[in-house]
């Protein structure tokens, strides 16, 4: 890691009274090329009654702009790692005491590890140098909450497969399916040895009524990960929805063979609604469980 870094391209919005939430969210979003501003975001994340913003609203506010909100591991290294990679980090602090909190959002835009300072865009100060010690105390009291906010086609520097997929899945379940699909795709490229990103794409297609797309994702999954019973199971459902009962029951049998405890007593597959011709059904690969038994 570098000794120091400063992300000079990160814009700065001095906060107005109590409005650190909208100001720091605007900082985060506009760094990614959006053109919003604190005034607009105020509607989204500022609660006048509480004179502030809540974490959940900050996260929801970023998601509503089709961004992936990735929570960092609760340590300073993760924060510095993201900054080194060029990603500003949104953090929460408690500037007072646990029993009388004053919550505050700020954006980490740099650091100097020799002087042991973090460089923050905070309240009305740009590039404010805060000693590690002070930062730690205030950050600890806010449960070390830190996130990066990125468009779905670029991954955080410290991203790990499952937390990233969870962040992408949160996008999907809040209705941002296109962005979620992009994030799943980016995850598949980043972690080609993991079945979960492919499964997520298949499930997304299936949920949108795209049985053909779903089947092709699940087929890719069973080709690359033949022992992954969940992929065979979901493939069976997608093929069934495509009106390929023969292939579907083969896939289902394979899932049951690979994992009898979980898929052994599979219910009858739902019949597909579209009367597609059988000839268009894709061939499915051999089940690994068949070959080992013989």
The residue ranges that bind other proteins (CB under 8 A) are 73-75, 162, 165-166, 169, 172-173, 196, 199-200, 203-204, 206, 230, 233-234, 237, 262-263, 265-267
Residue 190, SS3?
Answer: helix
Which CB sits closer to other proteins, 75 or 189?
A: 75
Cα dihedral sign, 13-14-15-16 = negative
Which CB sits closer to other proteins, 36 or 174?
A: 174
Cα dihedral sign, 218-230-203-72 = negative
Q: What is the rounded CA–CA span in Å between residue 221 and residue 197?
A: 9
Least gap, CB of 100 to other proteins (angstroms): 23
Instruction: Assign residue 103 a region (left: φ > 0; alpha: ψ between -120 and 50; beta: otherwise).
Output: beta
Least gap, CB of 245 to other proteins (angstroms): 17
Which CB sits closer to other proteins, 265 or 292?
A: 265
Which CB sits closer to other proteins, 124 or 173?
A: 173
Which CB sits closer to other proteins, 50 or 262?
A: 262
- The angle that helices 76-84 and 132-140 make with each other, rounded to 10 degrees, is 120
Query: Which residues lie below 8 Å from residue 81, measured CB to CB, with a gap of 6+?
Result: 1, 157, 158
Least gap, CB of 81 to other proteins (angstroms): 15
Instruction: Assign residue 131 a region (left: φ > 0; alpha: ψ between -120 and 50; beta: otherwise).
Output: beta
Q: What is the rounded CA–CA span in Å between residue 161 and residue 125?
A: 36
Least gap, CB of 218 to other proteins (angstroms): 10
Least gap, CB of 166 to other proteins (angstroms): 5
């Amino acid at each position: 890691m570098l000794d120091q870094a400063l992300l000079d391209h990160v814009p700065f919005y001095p906060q107005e009274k109590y409005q650190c939430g909208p100001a720091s969210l605007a900082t985060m979003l506009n760094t990614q090329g959006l053109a919003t501003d604190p005034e607009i975001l105020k509607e989204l994340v500022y609660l006048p009654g509480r004179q502030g913003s809540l974490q959940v609203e900050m996260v929801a506010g970023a998601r509503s702009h089709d961004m992936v909100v990735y929570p960092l591991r609760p340590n300073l290294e993760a924060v510095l790692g993201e900054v080194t990679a060029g990603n500003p980090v949104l953090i929460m602090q408690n500037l007072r005491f646990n029993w009388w909190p004053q919550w505050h959002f700020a954006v980490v835009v740099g650091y100097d590890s020799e002087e042991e300072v973090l460089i923050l865009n905070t309240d009305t100060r740009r590039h404010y140098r805060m000693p590690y010690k002070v930062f730690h105390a205030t950050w600890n009291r806010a449960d070390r909450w830190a996130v990066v906010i990125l468009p779905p086609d670029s991954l955080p520097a410290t991203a790990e497969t499952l937390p990233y997929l969870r962040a992408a899945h949160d996008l999907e379940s809040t209705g941002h399916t296109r962005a979620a699909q992009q994030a799943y795709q980016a995850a598949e490229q980043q972690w080609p040895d993991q079945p979960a990103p492919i499964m997520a794409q298949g499930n997304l297609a299936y949920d949108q009524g795209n049985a053909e797309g779903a089947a092709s994702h699940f087929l890719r999954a069973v080709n690359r990960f033949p022992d992954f019973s969940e992929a065979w199971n979901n493939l069976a459902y997608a093929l069934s929805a495509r009106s390929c009962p023969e292939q579907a029951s083969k896939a289902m049998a394979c899932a049951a063979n690979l994992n009898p405890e979980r898929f052994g007593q599979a219910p009858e597959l739902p019949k597909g609604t579209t009367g597609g011709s059988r000839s268009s059904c894709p061939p499915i690969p051999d089940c690994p469980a068949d070959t080992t038994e013989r």
